Copies of this chain bind each other. A is one copy, B any other.
């Protein structure tokens, strides 16, 4: 490593080494494995997405454009199921996995091609519309599934099939003479190829990933050429701009995150991977520049991104409407994927802050507590007409959510040359290796409902290393003790982490206490839609109010005085919504009395009266009676 290397200094502890037994995530993972994964399998069967691999369907199901990326939905389910199997044996799930993996392998064509839509319905159109038709996107998800399958089962056949498929399109696309300079309109293959490189050790997949990233957005634009070859006028592109498919400019020239949010994040996850693999500071700087734009201008408080339904993506800086927020579940997931990659470079807690904020809010809001209903879009306010549904015509989000939940352990711990990093808090056990020694890490905590965290680091013999403890961005006051005593020297907080240098002996205990008051959160004045409004947060949890707790008064009629928020009380309700901590306090409710039939009145503001309000975690809204929901409240 040279002094100017930008390669990652941290390595994530893989989820197979991490067991969550906390009150928040462990039940979600259990539901995911026992309810959501079987439910999704059934949906994928009923809607023909898994049967598609039998290659005997005769017509588009249910519509051509949706079917075109159907393979990816089934692939993400397979990836999720394999992660679940890696964590825990489950014979019935294993049987479904095995059956589907066999189908996929059997569907592969002699030349290595493997996309059910184009095999069955439009064989002549293979690779003819990379801009819109998602072939490499589907390939990327199949590759990720194959890697997970290999890891879960030890069976190499699916992975081998996907290698053949990757080799197949590597023969068609690239900068070498005779190849076409294509790349997919929906990024995903880039990060998948880097994973394939690691899974196989084959350098050519890394090179192919690099080509995909480097070529994208170059001039002349491949999508123009391809459109003309189809007899189309490129100017008639339905999405109007190549920003939509991240092909408006080469990545290093991009200054703002634009276009389709999931596409942007998947591409940037691949770019982050390449920055590490190629030790390329320009790619890392690109990630940092776009991250700054995203996090300082374009992210919802919940970690949702992409406010607009029109392009499923970004609009302009500070445009963050609440009720019309698109904030696709997949985009929240992709944001987490990207930030997880960035976090490992230098252990900067700002990336972990985004991961935590997104996980606890705009990600997990995507699935109901019972595990069979999903949000595609995650608005921050609803008049009562937004509800989770069992499935979507375009079901990208449910299996994406399933695979992240099943591999959630990936995000909690890292190791580095000098020790252990704890990024996220949740009661859990992890087996890590520090300087060649096994260390058992145990977290005991009721996080996110309580900020008291007890840590034990147990190794066979005393070992000196640094424990890096993240102090979340939301936390203004903390205390750390080792074996019951304050540290001799106040540990420095560097990039969001306390570094505790210690020679760890069996039985050593660290107590970290993160103060967790109810906080009022304010948006930058340039966020037009949030001016004069506040939101409620406690710890990593963003709160909302639901109509059901407020007698149908109209949540928009409630305003919150910031001073009153300081007096809000906290109650843990084990009986409510799977066990959540709720907030109680006083708001002001606009009165209708005295208005009679008037629609407008002059010089007499509406009167208000105090009203008891109850806020619940945003992520569990719409799990009771359907109704109104609101995150941001007027202050006057």
Q: Contact check: which of B532, B599, B606 meets A297 at CB < 8 Å?
A: B599
Q: Scan residues 283-341 of chain A and give those whose CB is less than 8 A from a CB of chain B.
A: 292, 295-297, 299, 301, 318
Q: Scan residues 586-617 of chain A and give those whose CB is less than 8 A from a CB of chain B.
A: 590-592, 595, 597-606
Cβ of A626 under 8 Å from chain B: no
Q: A556-B528, A597-B292 are in contact. Are A521 and B602 (CB under 8 A)?
A: yes
- Chain B residue nearest to A292 in the complex (CB): B597
Contacts of A292 in B (CB 8 A): 597
Contacts of A299 in B (CB 8 A): 599
Cβ of A51 under 8 Å from chain B: no
B598 touches A296 (CB 8 A): yes
CB distance from A519 to the nearest CB of B (A): 5
CA distance A590 to B524 in the complex (A): 10
Cβ of A562 under 8 Å from chain B: yes
Q: Contact check: which of B295, B556, B600 meets A599 at CB < 8 Å?
A: B295
Cβ of A345 under 8 Å from chain B: no
CB distance from A395 to the nearest CB of B (A): 27
Q: A559-B532, A590-B531 are in contact. Are A524 and B598 (CB under 8 A)?
A: yes
The count of chain A contact residues (Cβ–Cβ below 8 Å) is 46
Cβ of A474 under 8 Å from chain B: yes
CA distance A562 to B525 in the complex (A): 22
Q: Mark contacts of A558-572 with chain B using CB atoms, 8 A cut-off: 1 yes-contact digit, 0 otherwise.
A: 010010000000000
Cβ of A526 under 8 Å from chain B: yes
CA distance A554 to B605 in the complex (A): 24
A591 touches B532 (CB 8 A): no
- Chain B residue nearest to A316 in the complex (CB): B383
- Chain B residue nearest to A529 in the complex (CB): B556
Contacts of A476 in B (CB 8 A): 602
CB distance from A55 to the nearest CB of B (A): 35
Contacts of A526 in B (CB 8 A): 554, 592
Cβ of A636 under 8 Å from chain B: yes
A519 touches B603 (CB 8 A): yes
Contacts of A554 in B (CB 8 A): 525-526, 528
Q: A531-B557, A532-B532, A636-B636 are in contact. Are A522 and B605 (CB under 8 A)?
A: yes
Cβ of A527 under 8 Å from chain B: yes
A606 touches B559 (CB 8 A): no
Q: A296-B597, A599-B296 are in contact. Are A525 and B636 (CB under 8 A)?
A: no
A606 touches B525 (CB 8 A): yes
CA distance A537 to B523 in the complex (A): 31
Q: A531-B590, A532-B532, A532-B634 are in contact. Are A602 and B524 (CB under 8 A)?
A: no
CA distance A522 to B592 in the complex (A): 12
Cβ of A520 under 8 Å from chain B: yes
Q: Mark contacts of A615-634 with chain B using CB atoms, 8 A cut-off: 1 yes-contact digit, 0 otherwise.
A: 00000000000000000001
A635 touches B531 (CB 8 A): no
Q: A532-B559, A605-B522, A605-B562 are in contact. Are A599 and B634 (CB under 8 A)?
A: no
Cβ of A452 under 8 Å from chain B: no
Cβ of A534 under 8 Å from chain B: yes
Q: Contact check: which of B520, B559, B601 meets A602 at CB < 8 Å?
A: B520
Contacts of A521 in B (CB 8 A): 600-602
- Chain B residue nearest to A525 in the complex (CB): B590
- Chain B residue nearest to A635 in the complex (CB): B636
CA distance A592 to B559 in the complex (A): 23
A binding-site residues for B, Cβ under 8 Å? 292, 295-297, 299, 301, 318, 383, 474, 476, 519-528, 531-532, 534, 537, 554, 556-557, 559, 562, 590-592, 595, 597-606, 634-636
The 10 closest A-B pairs by CB, nearest first: A636-B636, A525-B590, A296-B597, A528-B556, A519-B602, A532-B634, A525-B592, A524-B599, A296-B599, A521-B600
Assuming A524-B599, A524-B600, A528-B556, what are 15 further A-B pairs, CB within 8 angstroms? A292-B597, A297-B599, A299-B599, A318-B599, A474-B602, A519-B603, A520-B602, A520-B605, A524-B598, A525-B595, A531-B556, A531-B606, A532-B532, A537-B602, A636-B636
Q: 28 interchain pairs (CB within 8 A)?
A: A292-B597, A295-B599, A296-B598, A299-B599, A301-B600, A318-B599, A474-B602, A476-B602, A519-B603, A521-B601, A521-B602, A522-B600, A522-B602, A522-B605, A523-B600, A524-B595, A524-B600, A525-B606, A526-B592, A528-B554, A528-B556, A531-B557, A531-B559, A531-B590, A531-B606, A531-B634, A532-B532, A532-B634
